[in-house]
């Protein structure tokens, strides 16, 4: 019997490819699938943003930048935050390689082995894995069936080891958006227990029924994360920003020096142009897609109406797990994601409606036919 030790570190030994990536890879092998799986805008980067990046490349702005980001972009971000929050002094800003990069930096800076991080279920797939990689313990709080933040459960879950609470509004995968009253209540809980809160606001432009509200309005110890990937279709450009308490930002900046180094230089140059670009036509188009999904699936599936992002988290038909229903959907050429990727439950599946209206209508028709045939 061989006693050869695996070369793989224990921290990643049980880390599997995400269910999203698996479906993404599956889509690449299928001929013309109806792909309602990937959270990537179907519109392209607006031309002025492209031109700014192209000109930056031509001018030779292809080298490393300051770790925290170029001054022009950080000042443009600060201007946006001043306008939104009425801040006279903006906390330090760090430009990161996507919100995913910001999350990795934050968890590794803040979480010691054994520290607890409260995460609301369903959740963005990276939260749980990154907390565990940092040695932390995810504490999962169920928000079913309506995906509202259960304030009593959140407070009851806080222990002396609780270090962080993660808030994602608009939420991936549910599309839920927290109200000002809910955010204020979360802030009060965090303040009572001296918690830091990560507010992942990558979908902040995609709010369909009411103006967006940020936790940073209500709580000073918020680590605010926003990105360019979803709002401006810059998913491959890998750029976001984070701001929050100075001591946290300083350490995140230092860690970025030893990890990502900096966000892509040409993307940073285009960032100020992006922030000035009117995306309201695209947001209006996605509101129409949201309405298509809700009208098509609310009666058949009992869908809770999503208010933001570009996802619907749909209950599987009675008698089937989400994985079983998703398997049938894929057999019928419709790619969706089982909810177990985002949740401790396997009761829902995620639709991304970031696709053409034609493909979306085809996919919704097939999903309804499948449900009605059971």
pLDDT tens-digit readout, 38-60: 899 999 999 999 999 999 999 99
Q: What pLDDT, on a 0 to 100 scale, did the predictor assign at position 19?
A: 56
For every residue of 215-239, DSSP letters joined together read GGGT-TTEEEEEESTTTSS-GGG--
Give burial (CB, 10 Å; 0-12/13-18/19+) of 111. buried
Helix (H) or strand (E) holding 75: helix 71-85
CA distance 368 to 297: 7
Q: Mean per-residue pLDDT for 126-145?
A: 97
- In tens, the pLDDT along 146-170 reads 999 999 999 999 999 999 999 999 9
What residue ranges of the chain are covered by domains with CATH 3.40.640.10? 62-275
- In tens, the pLDDT along 96-124 reads 999 999 999 999 999 999 999 999 999 99
Give burial (CB, 10 Å; 0-12/13-18/19+) of 106. buried
Contact 74, 239 (CB under 8 A): no
Omega cis (within 30) before 215:
no
Report residue 141: phi and psi, to 5°. -110, 125
What residue ranges of the chain are covered by domains with CATH 3.90.1150.10? 10-44+279-373
- Per DSSP, 113 falls in state T
Contact 165, 116 (CB under 8 A): no
Task: Provide CB contacts within 8 A for 359, sequence distance 6+.
Answer: 34, 35, 36
Q: What pLDDT, on a 0 to 100 scale, did the predictor assign at position 139?
A: 98
Q: What pLDDT, on a 0 to 100 scale, did the predictor assign at position 18?
A: 58
What are the C-alpha distances in Å from 149 to residues 70, 143, 155? 37, 6, 11
CA distance 349 to 325: 8
- In tens, the pLDDT along 196-220 reads 999 999 999 999 999 999 999 999 9
Provide, rounded to the nearest whole percent, the portion of the chain with pLDDT above 70: 96
Q: What pLDDT, on a 0 to 100 scale, did the predictor assign at position 318?
A: 93
- In tens, the pLDDT along 2-40 reads 567 889 888 888 877 655 656 666 666 777 889 999 899
Rounded to the nearest integer, the mean pLDDT of the chain is 95
Give the residues across from 140 on adjacent strands: 119
Report residue 296: phi and psi, to 5°. -75, -35
**Please, which pLDDT band fits residue 172 given cuts at 50, 70 and 90?**
very high
What are the C-alpha distances in Å from 275 to residues 48, 87, 138, 240, 359? 11, 18, 34, 12, 30
- In tens, the pLDDT along 270-307 reads 999 999 999 999 999 999 999 999 999 999 999 999 99
**Cβ density class 132-164: b for 16+ within 10 Å, e for less:** bbbebbbbbbebbeebebbeeebbeebeeebbb
CA distance 324 to 319: 10
Architecture of the domain delimited by 62-275: 3-Layer(aba) Sandwich (3.40)
Q: Mean per-residue pLDDT for 136-141?
A: 98
Q: What pLDDT, on a 0 to 100 scale, did the predictor assign at position 6?
A: 84
Pick the closest to residue 41 from 214, 270, 205, 262 (CA basis): 205
CATH fold of 10-44+279-373 reads 3.90.1150
Entry field: residues in the chain: 374
Give the residues across from 196 on adjacent strands: 164
Q: What pLDDT, on a 0 to 100 scale, did the predictor assign at position 310?
A: 97
């Amino acid at each position: 019997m061989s006693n050869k030790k695996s070369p793989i570190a224990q921290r990643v030994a049980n880390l599997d490819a995400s269910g999203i990536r698996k479906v993404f890879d599956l889509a690449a092998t299928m001929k013309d699938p109806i792909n309602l799986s990937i959270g990537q805008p179907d519109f392209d980067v607006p031309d002025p943003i492209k031109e700014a990046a192209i000109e930056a490349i031509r001018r030779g702005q292809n080298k490393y930048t300051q770790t925290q980001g170029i001054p022009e972009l950080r000042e443009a971000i600060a201007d946006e935050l001043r306008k939104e929050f009425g801040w006279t002094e903006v906390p330090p800003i760090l430009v990161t390689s996507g919100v995913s990069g910001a999350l990795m930096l934050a968890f590794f800076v803040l979480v010691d082995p054994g520290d607890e991080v409260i995460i609301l279920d369903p959740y963005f797939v990276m939260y749980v894995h990154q907390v565990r990689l940092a040695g932390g313990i995810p504490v999962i709080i169920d928000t079913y069936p309506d995906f509202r933040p259960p304030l009593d459960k959140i407070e009851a879950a806080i222990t002396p080891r609780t270090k962080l609470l993660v808030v994602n509004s608009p939420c991936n995968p549910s599309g839920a958006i927290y109200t000002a009253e809910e955010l204020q209540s979360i802030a009060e809980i965090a303040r009572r227990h001296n918690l830091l809160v990560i507010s992942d606001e990558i979908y902040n432009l995609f709010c369909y029924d009411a103006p967006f509200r940020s936790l940073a309005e209500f709580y000073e110890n918020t680590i605010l994360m926003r990105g360019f990937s979803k709002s401006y279709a810059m998913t491959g450009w890998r750029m976001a920003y984070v701001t929050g308490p100075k001591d946290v930002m300083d350490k995140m900046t230092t860690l970025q020096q030893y990890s990502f180094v900096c966000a892509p230089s040409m993307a940073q140059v285009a960032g100020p142009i992006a922030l000035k670009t009117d995306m309201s036509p695209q947001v209006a188009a996605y509101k129409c897609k949201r309405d298509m999904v809700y009208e098509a699936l609310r009666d058949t599936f009992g869908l809770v109406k999503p208010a933001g992002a570009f996802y619907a988290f749909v209950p599987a038909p009675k008698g089937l797990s989400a994985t079983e229903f998703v398997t049938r959907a894929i057999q019928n050429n419709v790619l969706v994601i089982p909810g177990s990727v985002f949740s401790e439950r396997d009761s829902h599946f995620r639709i991304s409606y970031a696709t053409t209206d034609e493909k979306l209508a085809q996919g919704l028709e097939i999903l309804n036919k499948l449900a009605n045939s059971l």
